A and B are shown apart, each in its own frame.
Chain A
Amino acid sequence: MKKVILALFAFVIVLFLTSCENDRKKKNDTNSPPDEVEITPSKPTVNVYVENSVSMFGYISSGNEFDRSISSLLTSIKVSGYTDSINLFYINSRTFRQNVDISTFIRRTNIHNAQTWPGDKSKTDMCALFDTVASAVNDSTISIFVSDCIFSPGKNEDAGNYIGAQKDKITTTINKKLNSQNLAFIVYRLKSEFKGDYFDCKDDPTPINDKRPYFIWIIGTAKNIGTFKQKIPTSKIEGNLQNSFTISKNKGEITYAIQLHPKIGDFKRTDSKTIINAKKDNDSEKFMFSIAVDFSSLLVDPSYLIDSGNYDPGNTKYSLEIIAKPMEKYTHLIKVTTTSRIISPTKLTIKLKNKIPDWIYTYSDSTCTNIKNNGMMERTYGLSHIVKGIYKAFNYQQETLSKIEISINQ
């Protein structure tokens, strides 16, 4: 009897082991999405607005980097096939369309021509400017706005109060537009030689001959801006690009998976998001694993993504290092490291914070400090207020752009 039971038991084992589990594979097959019908999207029109108020004259008098960057940007846009139609404008108190080609436009953007341009070149109402360029945006049109982004409240205004009020106005203006359109803003900070008068918040000129920052804003629907970022990466923008920041309502889902390498120590995966049997490396006493992430659906600047300060590891025992690593279906690699004595089971939630990058504050001046003061040449009066104004318009509910959840089990 005992032998019969043993025999049956072994038979059952063998039967069980040999029963094929094809379901999973079948499931995979049935889960494949239906063929998508490809619709060739229509190309957006690009309206380029170059601010030609007096504060901009210093860039165009020397005419090197400033021209080159605009020229290279516009050429890249055309060459990339992003658009078939580029409209060129100068903008101060109102817009002035230039029915010329890009090279002619660039040639014309010089000090001699600028002085003869119409409109009120003496003052810059940033809010009005943003209102104008943002209003031109629709599903088939993007705006490119080139400006020094310096507020000019004038002699009679309190500088601090002014930019505070301007900020709120920008917020209201943009927020209204956001109710009907899913807008996104890119701001590039570039530098160029500046030879001319720098006008401070009181409109007092100071002659300078140095490098000064200026800004190129790309404004459009989130979809058009996403395509813009893909087709015209920052590497295509010549002329001393320093920083960038993208503001949008990020609805993109990121995909991620634990990778086998690089690593320090050892572990096993049970699936793409779960680690088991984590072991530290004996020599370095560290344990590190990598997560490949696809951030392409997020309209976030590359520099933002690789700054570990913009992440919350979710567990103080772990630190992060992010590198840009384009790889098949991923864009970045996050290296998660711990030196704690015991690697306890945990659920790690890594958050990509939603915040204004530090450089905005670093290169901003809110107190109208003398341009000749140390470090002020880098700064732009009221920059952070513009950016905060736009940022606030988006009324973010969460402070997280995206999160990555990894289980570390026994």
Chain B
Amino acid sequence: MSIIRNIYSWLSPMYGNELYEYLKGNDCDGVFIGPDHFLTIGLIMIGISLLVFIAYYYLINHPRYNRWYHWGTFLFLTGIFNLFIGFGYTYSKLNGGNIPACFTYSQIEATDDGSIFGVDGTEILFNSNCWQFGLANAIIAIAFFIIFTFAFKWWSRNCKHSPLF
């Protein structure tokens, strides 16, 4: 799984290191406590890319849809699905209060009982980060779609030379 995590980490500048650490399953101290959200999101992403790939090359598999732009449409679809999944997942965590304050605020204080809270006005994770993560997820999904394409398209009756070679 570290490979999937690494892939998401390459794009972490897009959506923020704080969100990356949270999704990685780390606590505020950078120690892994789980769950590894990248595992969930990553598997869904790979699954969708694979499904869309199979749909284009083996289910639809149509001699009139074997132009590069048809493939491009499915590539785009893979990206769009995963954009919204990535966004939706992180949005629900962020707005559901699931993400600890140390990831969502740059300044945190403790209550009397020692639990932490974020200081208003110091928010660092916003919905825009969720969109950015969605975009990163889309990019990775697209990369997987391309890998699946060039590895597994060769048995498609009608589309094996789409988009290239």
Do A and B come into direct contact in the complex, CB within 8 Å?
Answer: yes
Q: Which residue numbers of A lie inside 8 Å of B, CB to CB?
A: 3, 6-7, 9-11, 13-14, 16-21, 24-25, 28, 257-262, 266, 268-272, 292, 325-329
Contact B147 A13 (CB under 8 A): yes
| Neighbouring A residues of B152 by C-beta, 8 Å | 7, 10
Instruction: With both chains docked as a complex, state the minimum distance between the C-beta of A269 and any C-beta of chain B, in angstroms.
Output: 4
Taking a contact as CB atoms under 8 Å apart, the answer to whether B106 and A261 are in contact is yes
Is the CB–CB distance between A259 and B1 below 8 Å? no
**Are the CB atoms of A261 and B105 closer together than 8 Å?**
yes
Residues A262 and B106 in contact in the complex (CB < 8 Å), given A17-B3, A18-B46, A328-B114: yes
B148 and A10 form a contact (CB under 8 A): yes
Q: How large is the interface on B (under 10, 10 to 19, 20 to 34, 35 or more residues)?
A: 35 or more
Beyond A261-B102, A328-B115, is A18–B30 a contact (Cβ under 8 Å)?
A: no
Given contacts A19-B1, A21-B1, A260-B28, is CB(A3)–CB(B147) below 8 Å? no
Q: Closest CB-CB distance, B145 to chain A, in whole Å? A: 12
Interface flags for B2-23 (1: CB within 8 Å of A; 0: not) read: 1110000100100001101100
> Is B17's CB under 8 angstroms from A268's CB?
yes
- The residue of chain A having its C-beta at the shortest distance from the C-beta of B114 within the complex is A328
How far apart are the CA atoms of A269 and B50 in the complex, in Å? 32
Q: Is B154 an interface residue (CB 8 A)?
A: yes
Chain B residues lying within 8 Å of A10, measured Cβ to Cβ, are 147-148, 151-152
Beyond A17-B46, A257-B29, A327-B114, 11 additional contacts (C-beta under 8 Å) are A9-B151, A14-B50, A18-B43, A20-B39, A257-B28, A257-B30, A258-B30, A268-B20, A271-B31, A326-B110, A329-B114
In this assembly, does B134 line the interface, its C-beta being within 8 Å of a C-beta of chain A? no
Whether B29 lies near A258 (C-beta < 8 A) is: yes
| Cβ–Cβ < 8 Å partners of B39 in chain A | 20
- With both beta carbons as reference points, the residue of chain B lying nearest to A2 in the complex is identified as B154
Inter-chain contacts of A272 with B (CB < 8 A): 29-31
Question: What distance in Å separates the Cβ of B128 from its nearest Cβ neighbour in chain A?
Answer: 18
In the assembly, what is the distance between CA of A24 and CA of B43, in Å? 18
Query: A260-B17, A261-B102, A328-B114 given as contacts; is B150 within 8 A of A6 (CB)?
Result: yes
Which residues of A have CB within 8 Å of B110?
325-328
Instruction: Closest A residue to B152 by CB, please name it.
Output: A7
Residue of B with least CB distance to A3? B154
Which residues, 121 to 165 on B, are CB-close (under 8 Å) to A?
Answer: 124, 147-148, 150-152, 154
Q: Tell yes or no: B61 within 8 A of A by CB.
A: no
Q: How far is the CA of A20 from the CA of B115 in the complex (A)?
A: 33
Q: How far is the CA of A21 from the CA of B34 in the complex (A)?
A: 11
Within 8 A of A (CB), among B53-102: 102
**B-chain residues with CB within 8 Å of residue A21 when the two chains form the complex:** 1-2
